[in-house]
Amino acid sequence: MKIALVGYGKMGHMLESTALSFGNEVVTTIDVIAPDAKVKVASGDYEAVAKAVIESGAEGVIEFTHPSSVMGNIKALLPSKIPLVVGTTGWNDKHEEVAALAAQCGGTVMTSANFSIGVNLFYKIVEEASKLINAFDEYDAAVWEMHHNQKADSPSGTALDVARHVLAGFTKKNEIVTDAFHSKPLPNQLHVSSTRCGSVPGTHTVYFDSPADTIELTHTARSRQGFASGAVHALENLKRFLDEGKLSSGKLYGMKDVFPEF
């Protein structure tokens, strides 16, 4: 398929090489800064982004930019009705707004906090482990994540998703806390802590701790390749499912919609 890439930093370059290796064609790359992007746009000129995508003849779009620009890109791109996959994180609180816009204009968007196949398998493992450990009152739980020092949001969207999967099985917890504690946490609070350092692609750990022992479940990304592969496959599946009528336009979708295995 013909793919347009909005955002052409390190992730955009990896998306391009991955898309090409899967037999797709990258018809345009769009960025504010990248000197080798096919189309350079001014910061905040979201209509220029949409215009470049439409004129490229793209059949699908992958957006990996920055939390400060993601909503502008989504609002400009959705009316084109070209299937859109968004990999930028930091806009969870806008999902309802985007779903409403998609329904209004007939555009289709798919997003995930993490496109890695391994991470999505990790979600399922965490939830099942949480159900097992939930039967034993002596265990507490917490989530920790670490990313590179260029990551703009904290905690990561993946960490929050991991926490939600813990809550789904560990019923003694029902509140996620991401701030520092200045008094002891309440028993129902699940602490999600973050570290930013160096070039770490992403590490997420769930701790189940008792007076006798600690159980740790960890997913460690070796590179961004897993994210790139998952995002390209997500766009391929989104386009195919729309063409086959398995999904309908005008909606916001997630990983389970384009990867039924999850």
Active-site residue list? 147, 151
d(CA 30, CA 32): 7
Residue 203 is assigned to a ligand binding site: no
Does 55 carry a binding-site annotation?
A: yes
Was 114 annotated as part of a binding site?
Answer: yes
> Any known ligand binding at 157?
yes
Tokens 């990896």 correspond to 14
CA dist 246 and 227 (Å) reads 24
Q: Is 120 annotated as a binding residue?
A: no
Pairing of strands 189-196, 84-86: unpaired
148 is in an annotated binding site: yes
The verdict on whether residue 115 carries a ligand-binding annotation is yes
Comparing CA positions, the residue from 41, 43, 32 lying closest to residue 8 is: 32
Kindly state the helix (H) or strand (E) to which residue 227 belongs, with its residue range: helix 225-244
Distance CA 224, CA 138 (A): 37
Q: How far apart are CA 7 and CA 11, in angstroms?
A: 8
Tell whether 18 is in a known binding site: no
Answer whether 48's CB lies under 8 Å from 71's CB: no
250 is in an annotated binding site: no
- Bridge-based pairing state of the strands 39-40 and 189-196: unpaired
Determine the length of the chain.
262
Which residue numbers belong to the known binding site for (S)-2,3,4,5-tetrahydrodipicolinate? 148, 157-158
Which residue numbers belong to the known binding site? 55, 87-89, 112-115, 148, 157-158
Which residue numbers belong to the known binding site for NAD(+)? 55, 87-89, 112-115
